[in-house]
Amino acid sequence: MKVSSIQMDMAFASPDENYSKAEELIRKAVESEKPDVVVLPETWNLGFFPHENLYSLADREGERTKSLFSSLSRELDVNIVGGSVVRTDGDKVRNTSYVFSRTGALLATYDKTHLFSPMSEDKFFQKGDHLSLFSLDGVKCGVIICYDIRFPELTRTMALEGMDVLFVVSEWPKARIPHLETLTRARAIENQMFLVLSNSTGKSGDTEYGGASRIIDPWGEVLASMEGRGENIISANLDMNIINGIRNSINVFSDRRSELYNVSKN
């Protein structure tokens, strides 16, 4: 499986400009890299995130996003992990990731479950209530959004369900990029899986975002990383045989002591 991660500099609170750019970058990635999967960053339709007029700017029930990705994936014969968009859900607003197959079918919808309270995301958005696992070309995959990466019980739960590739879509600030680099490698190593990170770059509102998109193998080796913080595309081939090799040689899943773990305590 070849994956391309798109590092996008989105225009704050300008959905029309961002939809045009996202389509342009997906087309560019497919033409130049010939990937099986393309990935976008978090809240690429608005940036993170305009407090004023949020509801009116959001994608109505996600319809614009779903229409774009359904037609593009079918036309370009590529799987799309659509980062995330700000969208309405009735009278609520959600931070939502859509995943589409090569045939244009909607495979998964994931609403961000851990909302970033330091920037009041929890005051404006509705929390998600489910995990997201799906298959792309026969490979078991999952997606999480930005702040979710700080909760290892989330990714371990998904790994125990058989996930081999985790897509992390984020709008992570420049000031905390060392955290992101450490957390993504840790999640890949501890769960013995591939991890594909698509982070945003540029400035959104008052915050500067840090790029550093990367693709990591189950040993924690960085297969591809973004040089600098500009808008660009990275790609890597994911050899699924690596997963079998590492899990046979260091079988952390069979050596777990689940009877000792209680992650539900407050």
Residue owning tokens 């770059």? 201
Letter for the amino acid at 49? F
pLDDT at residue 39 above 70? yes
- In whole angstroms, give the CA distance from residue 249 to residue 265: 33
pLDDT at residue 228 above 90? no
Q: Are 108 and 130 in contact (CB under 8 A)?
A: no
Instruction: Give 227's pLDDT tier (boundaries 50, 70, 90).
Output: confident
Q: Which tokens sit at 222?
A: 């960085």
pLDDT 10s digits, 124-147: 999 999 999 999 999 999 999 999
Q: Which residues are catalytic?
A: 42, 112, 146
- How far separated are the first and last CA of the chain, in Å rounded? 40
Instruction: Give 229's pLDDT tier (boundaries 50, 70, 90).
Output: confident
pLDDT at residue 266 above 80? no
Q: Are 88 and 59 in contact (CB under 8 A)?
A: yes
Query: What per-residue confidence (pLDDT) applies to 80?
Result: 99
Cut 0.95: pTM above it: yes
Instruction: Give 122's pLDDT tier (boundaries 50, 70, 90).
Output: very high
Mean pLDDT of 19-42: 98
pLDDT at residue 253 above 70? yes
- Listed as own residue / partner, the contacts of 211-216 with beta carbons closer than 8 Å and 24 or more positions apart are 211/7, 211/174, 211/177, 212/172, 212/177, 212/180, 212/181, 213/5, 213/6, 213/7, 213/41, 214/5, 214/181, 214/184, 215/3, 215/5, 216/184, 216/185, 216/188
pLDDT 10s digits, 45-89: 999 999 999 999 999 999 999 999 999 999 999 999 999 999 999
Q: Which of 41, 104, 96 is closest to 78 using CA atoms?
A: 104
Instruction: Give 206's pLDDT tier (boundaries 50, 70, 90).
Output: confident
- Listed as own residue / partner, the contacts of 71-75 with beta carbons closer than 8 Å and 24 or more positions apart are 71/104, 72/23, 72/26, 72/27, 73/100, 73/101, 73/102, 73/103, 73/104, 74/102, 74/103, 74/104
Residues making up the chain, counted from first to last: 266
High-pLDDT (> 90) share of the chain, %: 95
pLDDT at residue 209 above 90? yes
